A and B are shown apart, each in its own frame.
Chain A
């Protein structure tokens, strides 16, 4: 079985601060995929990134960066110079070879960026 834990339920920062959202996962599969999704108040889940288990290279996309560490089973997400528009619920998710398309989601982290 797969499991994803996002220990931070809510985070509140002031605009322009950097913020890191933590994600820890559990799986016995050797081939798996990790994802981050953003859910604004409108409700739609917006895909942000996918990482394969065999690719530990960190990634940066504009103000967003992701740190994947298999040794600690973590896939953390950092927003640099946060903006009010970053306010949303962020979900980390996992799919594994034995579970096919099924995404296992963490509980989500509510990020509030205050002006």
Chain B
């Protein structure tokens, strides 16, 4: 079975721009979660989507949003980018969300 894929792998954006990251979960997995990893804050939960509905949300500003499509693929959008948004964004898929989550390779976003 193919693993979790994320595109693009690397991205460089300028402050004030917006960005969209994509995640394709493992086939059959309906839960997709997003995490932000930075050296200062570590791994932090952004949100989870299950069957096209946001089911869980972390403590991030409204500039961070996401959605999930009927094929379980998910996108994450960050608007009005700030320097502090530079991070590795990891997507994880799971059958139900409660059990183990399998992570993709991540998208490394650099904001200049």
- Seen from chain A, the residues whose Cβ lies within 8 Å of a Cβ on chain B are 33, 35, 37, 42-47, 50, 91, 93, 95, 99-108
Q: How far does the Cβ of B92 sit from chain A's closest Cβ, in whole Å? A: 8
In the complex where A45-B90, A100-B48 touch, is A105 in contact with B43 (Cβ < 8 A)? yes
Find out whether the CB atom of B55 lies under 8 angstroms from the CB atom of A101: yes
> How many A-B residue contacts, CB cutoff 8 Å?
60
Find out whether the CB atom of B100 lies under 8 angstroms from the CB atom of A35: yes
- Seen from chain B, the residues whose Cβ lies within 8 Å of a Cβ on chain A are 31, 33, 35, 42-43, 45, 48, 50, 55-56, 58, 88, 90, 92, 94, 97-106, 108
Kindly list chain B residues whose C-beta atoms are within 8 Å of the C-beta of A45: 90, 92, 103
Kindly list chain B residues whose C-beta atoms are within 8 Å of the C-beta of A93: 43
| 17 further interface pairs, Cβ-Cβ under 8 Å (given A47-B103, A101-B98) | A35-B100, A42-B105, A43-B88, A43-B105, A44-B104, A45-B90, A45-B103, A50-B100, A91-B43, A100-B56, A100-B97, A101-B48, A101-B55, A101-B101, A102-B33, A102-B45, A103-B45
Q: How far does the Cβ of A58 sit from chain B's closest Cβ, in whole Å? A: 18
> Which of A42, A99, A105, A107 counts the most B-chain CB atoms under 10 A from its CB?
A105
